[in-house]
Amino acid sequence: MEMDGKTVLITGSTDGVGRYVAARLAGAGARVLIHGRDGVRAKALIEQIRRAGGAEPVFYQADLSSLAEVRRLAGAVVADHTRLDVFVSNAGIGSQNEGPSRQTSRDGHELRFAVNYLSGFLLAHLLLPLLRASAPSRIVNVASLGQHPIDFDDVMITRGYSGGRAYAQSKLAQIMFTIDLARELAGSGVTVNALHPATYMNTTMVRAGGVTPISTVEQGGEAILHLAAGVDVADKSGLFFNGMNEAQAHPQACDEDARRRLRALSLELTGMAAG
pLDDT at 207: 64
Residue 212 structural domain: 7-270
Number of H helices, E strands in the chain: 9, 8
- Model pLDDT for residues 177-220, shown as the tens digit of each residue: 999 999 999 999 999 999 999 887 777 766 666 777 778 899 99
Is 1 within a domain? no
Q: How far is CA 147 from CA 143, 172, 209, 253, 254, in A?
A: 9, 5, 17, 10, 13
CB of 191 closer than 8 Å to CB of 138: yes
What is the CATH number for 106? Answer: 3.40.50.720
**Torsion (CA) 230, 232, 233, 234 in degrees, nearest 10:** 80
- pTM, full prediction: 0.95
Q: Which residue among the candidates 20, 60, 117, 167 is catalytic per the annotation?
A: 167
Distance from C-alpha of 40 to C-alpha of 61, rounded to nearest angstrom: 11
- Model pLDDT for residues 143-179, shown as the tens digit of each residue: 999 999 999 999 999 999 999 999 999 999 999 999 9
Q: What is the number of structural domains in the chain?
A: 1
Is 275 within a domain? no
Is 174 within a domain? yes
**Torsion (CA) 23, 76, 205, 41 in degrees, nearest 10:** 60
Is 200 within a domain? yes
Is 2 within a domain? no
Helix (H) or strand (E) holding 44: helix 39-51
What are the strands of the beta sheet with 31-36, ordered from one edge?
Answer: 58-61, 31-36, 7-10, 86-89, 137-142, 190-196, 240-242, 245-247
Active site residue 20: no
